Amino acid sequence: MHDLGSATSSNSSKLIHGGLRYLEHYEFRLVREGLAEREVLLKKAPHIIRPLRFRLPHLPHLRPAWMIRAGLFLYDHLSNRTTLAGSHGISFGPDSPLRSGITRGFEYSDGGVDDARLVILNALAAREAGADIRTRSRCVQALRRGSLWQVSLNNQLTGVTDVVCARALVNAAGPWVSSLFDTALASKPPQKIRLIKGSHIVVPRLHDQPEAYILQNEDRRIVFVIPFEEAFSLIGTTDVEYQGDPAEAVISDAETEYLLAVVNGYFKHTIARADIVMSYAGVRPLLDDDASAAQAVTRDYCFELDQPANQPPLLSVFGGKLTTYRKLAEAAVNRIGVYFPHAGPSWTESPPLPGGDFCDKEALQSLLLTQYPWLPSPIVKRFVRSYGTRSQHVLNGTTCITDLGQYFGAGLYQREVDYLHEYEWALTVEDIIWRRTKLGLHLTPREQQQLADYLRDASHATNLKQPLHPNP
């Protein structure tokens, strides 16, 4: 109902992982599926997903070494692992960023992802397969009329409501999956969900090593410290019961203090509230499995299919996690596919997501630097990890830096802004600097205002009405 990925999907820990901590709750199927998908997604989207080594400092009074070794053994072997290195024990020396009393630990592999761009790339792939993607469109009513659904979609920008018809309806509204029954569907939701808030903070880089850290805490929760956008560290997450509108979730003072305390208990370089560059909170719609603690609530998913006799089906999705989004979608399509006899078999495992049709980031960067030698290497590097081979669509026809148009700061030029507006549904400053890119970490308030002015003026200009090139 807003921008793509503007709620939970862009407010995650930005990891593609099996979920090491889920093993403690015996979620073996979920972990196995996550580990398998980790391999699939690393191949499908090598531009936005990267291998990441995690270091787990060992504090004997929290979890014994044998338990961690057993968990890591399962993590290495629950699913085929072809891309990432396995786990092993490590020693922390004088050059470690950790406090001097922490001398032992473990290391294992997972993946990091630009979560918001993952949403965008899937929308691009869907559009290229024939989907009609409508952003800023809120479902205000859905009624069964004979063999069809009549769905009323209100454009949040124009206020105009369109009615579209469909042979099936899928409610995949995330944290709004239950409330959609109360509003648009006017019926009782078939499953209960628990809204669990997870909050994060971003601070200047805590250390110059490439590894992420997973920190145990006295309450048996864990906190990640992840290299983020080169100059920063991403710290999270929390698990807090949430009531209210998921769109209004923000980090609390208690959560901020919690994250600061955990990090400062491990690292030599301590941080304070004044060091926080940004923070964010997302609300996870988790199945209510009667777990007493928020962190113990299952991250698994389930479907509820409703089809009264001779009426169109409704499939509702409850729960789920970012890493297994593709498997969840595949299973959902398989459930609804029985009503579409001409639907083909599953196919999404192998084809790369848009821009992911390459094998080596460094080779792609070298190619672009050869083709566009006037382009600063930091921009090339950012383009490759954002757009992959589709960097060519942004740069097509340019021969010098002035061809990129107005400069807004932090490596952002008009050409990229126009591309994001034309092909990636970006309408606002926030769309561009937080979800299509993370340049909001670098742009000054004045530069952001210049971008806002451009978007406002350009919304009526012909250069945003015409494609930048014939076939994106």
- With bands split at pLDDT 50, 70 and 90, how would you rate the model's confidence at 154? very high
Distance of CA 77 to the CA centre of its chain: 26
Q: 345: burial class by Cβ within 10 Å (0-12, 13-18, 19+)?
A: exposed
Beta strand 193-204 with 232-236: parallel, antiparallel or unpaired?
A: antiparallel
Domains of the chain and any CATH numbers: 361-464 (1.10.8.870)
3-state percent helix, strand, coil for the chain, nearest multiple of 5:
35, 25, 40
C-alpha 288/C-alpha 286 separation (Å) is: 6
- In this predicted structure, what is the pLDDT of residue 218? 92
Contact 8, 282 (CB under 8 A): yes
- Give residue-wise pLDDT tens across range 339-372: 999 999 999 999 999 999 999 999 999 999 999 9
Contact 37, 48 (CB under 8 A): no
In the 3-class helix/strand/coil scheme, how is 217-271 assigned residue by residue? CCCCCEEEEEEECCCEEEEECCCEECCCCHHHCCCCHHHHHHHHHHHHCCECCCC
Q: Does the pLDDT at position 94 exceed 90? A: yes
CB 204: neighbour CB atoms within 10 A?
Answer: 12
Residue 52 sits at the vertex; the CA angle it makes with 229 and 125, to the nearest 5 degrees, is 70
- Give residue-wise pLDDT tens across range 245-287: 999 999 999 999 999 999 999 999 999 999 999 999 999 998 8
